[in-house]
Amino acid sequence: MRYTKTERRTVLKLIGSTALLTVTGQTRAKAAPIMPEVEIGLMSALDAPGTYLTFMYPNQGVMYKSVVTRLGKSADGHTLSVVQKGSEVYLRAYSLRCPHAGCTVDEPNPKLMAPDTILICPCHGSEYDGMNGTLEFGPATIGLTALSIELRTGKLYCVGIAPAL
C-alpha cells in the first residue's frame, strides 16, 4: 500500500507528538517532590550551646525524627547564623535517619548535648557527632542528612533537605 506525502507527514507528526508527550510525562514523574515546611518551635528554647529541639521531617519519603541544635560556633555551609541580642547564634538541623540502612539513630539524652556527644545507630553501630550530625565511625560512609531551617518572627521552620556541600 502506498501513502501520499501528506499522509506520511501526518503519521510522522503523530508519532513525534506521542514520543514528546511520553518523554515529558516521564520527566515530570521523576521531578523532585516538593518538601513540606514544618514548624519546629521557638528560637528562645535554644538558649545555650548544646540545647536542641526535636521534630518530625520526611527523609526519602518517610517521616523521621530530626534535631535542630544550637552550636557554640559555625560548623559548615549548613549552619544557620542568627544575630540575637547583639551576638551571633549558630544552629544546625539534621535528620536522625542513618544513611547506611535507614534506621533511626538514638536521640541524645538528656536534653542538653555536651560538645562530645556521640549519637549511635542501633542497627549497625555507626556513630555521629551529636552537635552537627557528621560521621565519626562507620559502616555508614556519610553523615546524617542536613536540613535547611529558617527563623521567622521568633519561630524556627524546617523548609527542606539541605543541598549537598
Taking only the tens place, the pLDDT of each residue in 31-85 is 455 778 889 999 889 888 888 999 999 888 888 889 988 887 766 666 666 766 6
pLDDT digits 0-9 by tens, 130-155: 888 889 988 999 989 888 888 888 89
Report the distance separating Cα 50 and Cα 117, nearest Å.
Answer: 9
Q: Which residues constitute the domain of residue 140?
A: 38-161
**pTM for the whole thing?**
0.72
Q: Please tell me whether residues 17 and 75 are part of one structural domain.
A: no
Strand-by-strand arrangement of the 135-137 sheet: 118-120, 127-129, 135-137
Q: Please tell me whether residues 43 and 113 are part of one structural domain.
A: yes
Query: Looking at residue 132, what is its pLDDT?
Result: 80
Task: Kindly tell me if the per-residue pLDDT of 18 is higher than 50.
Answer: no
- Number of neighbouring beta carbons within 10 Å of residue 118: 14
Look-up of cell digits 500500500? 1
Supply the Cα-derived Rg of the chain in whole angstroms. Answer: 23
**45-76: string of b/e by CB count within 10 Å (b at 16+)?**
ebeebbebbebebbbeeeebebbbbbbeeebe
Report the distance separating Cα 79 and Cα 84, nearest Å.
Answer: 15
Q: Please tell me whether residues 83 and 111 are part of one structural domain.
A: yes
Query: Domain total for the chain?
Result: 2
Segment (H or E) for 11: helix 5-30
Q: Please tell me whether residues 93 and 118 are part of one structural domain.
A: yes
Query: Looking at residue 26, what is its pLDDT?
Result: 47
pLDDT digits 0-9 by tens, 126-136: 999 888 888 99
Nearest-CA neighbor of 89 among 69, 70, 113, 112? Answer: 70
